[in-house]
Structure 1
């Protein structure tokens, strides 16, 4: 048994910025931050491009950023949320800078602004192609300076503990597995804050790390929280194609903003057939254009062409990408870079209000696991880090206001789980995950007919049932796969029910 005032699950930008703000305002409160791996593993640290902020008030404006966000999201964003997030952006950016985060500047000392697909102006603040790593490093350093923020690495949260009354349901803590000792623990908390990230590992190809298994979505769903728009999975169009590899290296959107061309195997730029913005069209348009070209040609990839760009300037802007390509035997000065779309960002998630509150009392969610209304059907590039900062800020203010009035509930002792892992069960998990990845493709989600989705849904439900029957030991890998399958089921259920994709035909390309 453990107890804390505030329990944060996840240590990316959403969880850390929230913890720092609560710790600052409530130095007497204890804040536990749980991560299922090391505290620097997750999607935040992998973010390359940057954070979208209106800095240049002469050429740019909040109104333009709002319009770009609404267009990218196909107009089903929440306009009030879009306005709130974008208008807070400069303040949240300068908080990061005050906490020690460094961003690239020009020769005049002004913030250097990049351009990405879907943006009408240069407004991407960045740190080379390592923006996420810079933010994560400085946020971890800042959090470590607070004595009341305590990190617990290698704690895998399995379920939310609820107190149910006639008119409401309240989160009073969680159950978790402490991986190093293979022990189960119950943790009581006044406030529980989900910052568990996305679900990319579900899919055939992804840019996400291995920890992105939809844990927060599945836990919240099992607890009865409202989940919205999970069918809106954004595929990033430019992941480095690597044969027989599941997790692919991301080639930042900013590379196309820098001037790279997208070409087919014959060297032809094909995007202008699909959108007048060409390489600077939004991610959904570019991804679907690539998939159509691959279907027509039968090829495994299309290509990024950077050969016409200034090589020194390119290397200075994208040192991580350049080095990774060189490690793969690809020289950007002479070679085309093979790319394919890969599952990248979960636009839907746990339904929250403008203070990041879920439909369950004392349970909050922020970052990629939350559905805030900002993104609509498709996230505008570099709006995700901004979203996490704003909603964690909103949540911190509300939590600080009410924390003292919440009692810590005493938890009942649960029967201990058997969490040893057998080789036979491990083989079953590997087999089931491959089946899951094979099912969850771009084509299933976006180009298949409803009956194909329903057939896949039947297979997923069968996998879910077999998993429970065949795996008697409830160890971490079991829960991860359980969460992935259950999240995939939600995605397909939402896709089948979605009026947007089933009826709004204008979203699809014309033949």
Structure 2
């Protein structure tokens, strides 16, 4: 069913460029990895959009890290394990938490600015699943601030070149070694050969009908790694954020940060009842999978498309100062959050699975690394703890950089005459309609609640779509994205079918008839 390369090519006939390291993706993990690689190496940072278009840039809440003496490292480890249903790799979690402080210090040295109190101390907040305040933030646009600081530093480095609007089609390999990437820009398709390749391509949100993710999150890195034979694991663990602003017309939903609940907001149903006390002892600060499921149950019970988030009991000036971005965006949508409830519902937000990577970010393909959301080090288990994602990106991005600094010094760049040929019939169907079909299938059968019957139906449909896409070819980014989305959908569905019992974000419901009710 799988096609190794998405297009025909012959390296003898196309242009070739060379560098030491290729990094695909300019979210926090990609930028931070680049900045920690030795300045003696030439680095190419590739992004299919603009440098600041990423899920990292959209992150509101903050970065979880034990930076004060009052913070308990063991508590952060336990909170991460508990949220992940103890499915986490414990060594990965230990690395994440213990190396947080040194990497936060690096971020601040690079220029990231976090909120401070009147005494100059970094302010910390709390989110769902956390037993204490340990989350650094920059108002409610932490990701944007971190990306700003990293981008400014990247532009200063003479050894780093950023190529925007450059789409990576496939990984080039030889004898289980990654030797570069096949690239498309606005002019041509060419090969970029390198000593090492890092995939930091972000999430898979566009596979679902509604998501908080960037429009470019089509799972490209996971899909191209799958085609090259990299191990892909735990794809059934898709996280659905409980509180996205409900608007029936919007496919991309505006995220209402978990930090809003961390500062006292309460979830209410259509009867104005605060319902989370019925589902978990932590109430509104329960882990995300529990809150998302609870909201879905309330939506079904009340026959209402959303529930409500209430922060009206907090002082208006506090709300405007602490959450200026959320306040302004909600106001644009007709809701004054200091006086009115926010309509919210769960949507796709993050994936815990992905490209299997070890403690140094290495995959089973030599010289191919993965970090950030596209990777799976086992750190998040079956459900990610809030604000551990940006931390994951910097801790394991730094580890990848240190490994590359050691490994590629005496390595040569391969110059091989690789080529690939398959059926060249032009695809004539509407790619946007295929994308929408994938999203409909995933929302209907592989959303928060899953059933065996529905997943089997979904598998049949997605397999048919993949067969159709692979029978033809089309040199367009829309085609490449569509194939990538189909493969990612297939990986999620087949992984979900293998895990017959509920665990974390993977919730199997036997009496559902295989179909979600939203």
In 2, the alpha carbon distance for the partners of 1:357 and 1:92 equals 20
Q: CA deviation at 1:334?
A: 2.1
Pair 494,507 (structure 1): closer, same or farther in 2 beyond 3 Å: closer
Paired residues of 1:186 and 1:411 also in contact (CA < 8 A): no
In 1, the alpha carbon distance for the partners of 2:26 and 2:85 equals 31
Quick one: which of 430, 440, 443 aligns to 2:442? 440
| 1:97-136 correspondence to structure 2 within 5 Å | 97-136=108-147
Quick one: which of 320, 327, 333 aligns to 2:338? 333
Number of the residue aligned with 2:33: 18
Paired residues of 2:246 and 2:306 also in contact (CA < 8 A): yes
Pair 372,175 (structure 1): closer, same or farther in 2 beyond 3 Å: same
In 2, the alpha carbon distance for the partners of 1:262 and 1:442 equals 25
Paired residues of 2:450 and 2:509 also in contact (CA < 8 A): no
Q: Deviations over 1:262-281 (max 9, x none)?
A: 00112111111111111100
Pair 5,502 (structure 1): closer, same or farther in 2 beyond 3 Å: closer
Pair 504,319 (structure 1): closer, same or farther in 2 beyond 3 Å: closer
Number of the residue aligned with 2:350: 345
TM-score relative to the length of structure 2:
0.92
Number of the residue aligned with 2:177: 170
Pair 500,57 (structure 1): closer, same or farther in 2 beyond 3 Å: farther
Give the number of equivalent residue pairs.
Answer: 497
Quick one: which of 127, 143, 153 aligns to 2:164? 153
Q: CA deviation at 1:421?
A: 10
Quick one: which of 388, 393, 418 aligns to 1:388? 393
| 1:60-459 correspondence to structure 2 within 5 Å | 60-164=71-175, 169-178=176-185, 180-181=186-187, 183-412=188-417, 414=419, 425=429, 428-441=430-443, 444-459=446-461
In 1, the alpha carbon distance for the partners of 2:83 and 2:503 equals 19
Pair 486,112 (structure 1): closer, same or farther in 2 beyond 3 Å: same
Number of the residue aligned with 1:2: 17
SS of the aligned residue for 2:202 comes to coil
Paired residues of 1:417 and 1:474 also in contact (CA < 8 A): no
User: RMSD of aligned C-alpha atoms?
Assistant: 2.4
Structure 1 residue ranges, 4+ long, deviating more than 6 angstroms after superposition: 415-422, 502-511
Q: CA deviation at 1:473?
A: 1.9
Pair 479,144 (structure 1): closer, same or farther in 2 beyond 3 Å: same
Q: CA deviation at 1:204?
A: 1.8
Paired residues of 2:22 and 2:198 also in contact (CA < 8 A): yes
The unaligned stretches of length 5 or more in structure 1 are none
Q: CA deviation at 1:159?
A: 0.7
Q: CA deviation at 1:446?
A: 3.9
Pair 312,229 (structure 1): closer, same or farther in 2 beyond 3 Å: same
The unaligned stretches of length 5 or more in structure 2 are 1-15, 513-518
SS of the aligned residue for 1:464 comes to helix
Number of the residue aligned with 1:498: 499
SS of the aligned residue for 2:99 comes to helix
Pair 56,404 (structure 1): closer, same or farther in 2 beyond 3 Å: closer
Pair 311,81 (structure 1): closer, same or farther in 2 beyond 3 Å: same
SS of the aligned residue for 1:188 comes to strand
Number of the residue aligned with 2:478: 477
In 1, the alpha carbon distance for the partners of 2:36 and 2:424 equals 36
Q: CA deviation at 1:500?
A: 4.8
Paired residues of 1:445 and 1:492 also in contact (CA < 8 A): no
Paired residues of 2:382 and 2:503 also in contact (CA < 8 A): no
Pair 417,493 (structure 1): closer, same or farther in 2 beyond 3 Å: closer
TM-score relative to the length of structure 1:
0.93
Q: CA deviation at 1:252?
A: 0.3
In 2, the alpha carbon distance for the partners of 1:86 and 1:442 equals 37
Number of the residue aligned with 2:45: 33
Number of the residue aligned with 2:65: 53
Paired residues of 2:32 and 2:150 also in contact (CA < 8 A): yes
In 2, the alpha carbon distance for the partners of 1:419 and 1:43 equals 34
SS of the aligned residue for 1:159 comes to strand
Q: CA deviation at 1:402?
A: 1.4
SS of the aligned residue for 1:440 comes to helix
SS of the aligned residue for 1:374 comes to coil
Q: CA deviation at 1:306?
A: 1.5
